[in-house]
Each structure stands twice: as C-alpha cells, then as structure tokens.
Amino acid sequence: MSTLARDRKTATELISRPTRRELREYFVGTTLRIIDDEFTDADIECDLDYSPGTNGQRRTRVEQYYRTLDFTKHTDVKKFLSVYKSALSALGICQGGWNEEINNRTLATLTERIQRDGYDFVDGRLISRSSAVPSAPELRAEAVAMDAPYLSQQIDRIENEVDSDPRHAIGAAKELVETTCKTILRERGIEVNKKWDVMGLVKETRKQLKLVPDDIRDSAKAADTIKRLLNNLATITQNLAELRNNYGSGHGPDGKYVGLQPRHARLAAGSACVLAQFLFETHSERTEDE
C-alpha cells in the first residue's frame, strides 16, 4: 500500500462513502458528457486507468474521478461539494414532467445524505454546520461575494493546517486579518501605507468604517467596549503570530520540544475570522448607507 493510500485510510474522511455513492447513483441517470463536464468544471482530474469494478460506464467514470480526490483534505472536499451542489441545484429546478416524482425523491435523498455529513443546502449553497474554525464558512461566503479569491485560499489554508500544522495556520490567521483590512481599504479607495503592521491596518480600517469612539454618537452604547474588543481580537492574532515566529527560530530544539498545538491555532484562527467577518459586515452596511 502506498504512503498516500495509507494516510487516506488512517485519516478521517470528511465526506462519507454513502454520500459519495448516492451522488454516483444520481449521475447514472445522466450521460458521460454531463459527468465529465461537472467534474471538470470543479477542477477534478480523472484517473482513466483505474478499474473500480463497478457495473456500467457511468458508475465507473464517477469512481475514476473520485479516485483522484483525498476526502480527508478540505481542498478536495470543496471540489466534491461543488459537484454535489450542482446536482442539488439541477434537481431543484427540474419541476414538472413525468419524472418529477423521481427527481424529488433523489433530491430528498441527496439532501439527507449531505446533512449527515454536516452540510445544509441553503439558497443554492452548501453550508457547513461544523467547521474546524468558527466563522470560516460565513467568511468564505463574504470572500466569494467580494470576488477575493486569495482570501478564500487563506481560509482554506487555515482550515487545512489548523490541526496538521498549527504554526503555519497561526501565521495564516495574521495574514488573513491583513488581507481583510487591505481589501476593505482598497474597496473604499484608501491607499495602504506599507509601514502599517496588522495593528495599524486594523486601526485604519476601523477609522474608515467609523468604528472609533470619536465617530460614534455619544448615545451609542458600548462604543468603548467595541473598540477594546476589536483591539483585543487583533492583538491576539498579532501576539500568536509573534509566538509562531519565536517557536520557528533557533538552531535545533531539544528532544522534548513540543511546539504550538492545534488549540493555539484555533484561538488565533477563530479570533482572526471573527474579526474579519465583523469588519466585512460593517463595510457592507456602511457602503449601503453611503
């Protein structure tokens, strides 16, 4: 057994085999061309040399696409969910006709299966009910809405590394806050000073969004508390990133060296995502009001 195959077997798969099987059976009712189009559009490769031992060309083709995916990795699962979402959407718009009952039954089955894996199909999107990082799914939706693909990549990186590589995930959390602030400032036509660190970026973003006490009406409750919360979230991210750098320096730690743990990464990533989500939501509201 190869190392990759062994790793896949021991790691926890994020999408269950029954769910994958139900999607495969859905495609049995389509064509090879549709199967190829759906998986190719999701940037999934096909292993045509793989012989899964299933009956029928369409089942075989789906399994050949599955073969190239690692269902223990968020990046590959994201591709699979893109195909799954497309299938649910197609079934949802197929109303009327002789096969309406079959479509509705298939839609119900696929929806139930993906819900067991922790996803809800809402407004044409598959939303995770449980994430390795709080607020990450909502923040990813903001990134898509703002056409910020690099921000989406940062979120994926954090979720993929929060358990496997906490030190890098913490660094990515700090970068996420920086990217969020730079994106918002760019949208608002503000030039970013290259000398600003993460705290400077948060301060300027907060200023532009009128979140500093001087810009809030005296009658606004908890203005000082809001400022402290924003500063504290940014400070946590900044301090943990510095801690990551300290742990990464030096020349050969001793044999008892442990390093940063996933709980540290979740603290940094959770703080960064909550802060970024709040800033994006405020930016959207302020833009509508202006």
Which tokens hold the place of 17? Answer: 């085999």
Give me Rg for the CA atoms of the chain. 23
Burial class (CB in 10 A: 0-12, 13-18, 19+), 53: exposed
Contact status, residue 136 vs residue 158, Cβ threshold 8 Å: yes
Whole-model pTM: value is 0.51
**Within a 10 A sphere around the Cβ of 208, how many other Cβ atoms?**
21
Predicted local confidence at residue 3, as pLDDT:
46
Contact status, residue 135 vs residue 268, Cβ threshold 8 Å: no
More confident residue, 63 or 256: 63
Where helices occur in the chain by DSSP H, the ranges are 3-10, 17-28, 32-41, 57-66, 74-93, 100-116, 136-145, 149-161, 166-187, 198-208, 223-248, 262-289
Predicted local confidence at residue 88, as pLDDT:
94
Closest CA to 266 of 141, 127, 172: 172
Predicted local confidence at residue 94, as pLDDT:
65
State the Cα torsion 228-233-236-239 to the nearest 10°: -80
Render pLDDT for 56-95 as a digit per residue (tens, 0 to 9): 999 999 999 999 999 988 778 889 999 999 999 998 876 5
**Mean per-residue pLDDT of the chain:** 81
pLDDT band at 6 (very low <50, low <70, confident <90, very high): very low
How far is residue 99's CA from residue 161's CA, in Å, rounded to a whole number?
44
Fold (topology level) of 136-248+259-289: Four Helix Bundle (Hemerythrin (Met), subunit A) (1.20.120)
Render pLDDT for 122-154 as a digit per residue (tens, 0 to 9): 778 887 765 556 567 667 766 766 667 788 788
Among 90-99, 218-227, 242-251, name the one with the lowest average pLDDT: 242-251
Among 18-22, 106-110, 267-271, name the one with the lowest average pLDDT: 267-271
At residue 210, what is the residue type? K
Predicted local confidence at residue 234, as pLDDT:
80
**Average pLDDT estimate for 16-27:** 96
At residue 211, what is the residue type? L
Predicted local confidence at residue 257, as pLDDT:
45
Which residues lie closer than 8 Å to 97 by C-beta, 6 or more apart?
none
Domain residue ranges in the chain: 12-128, 136-248+259-289
Contact status, residue 24 vs residue 63, Cβ threshold 8 Å: yes
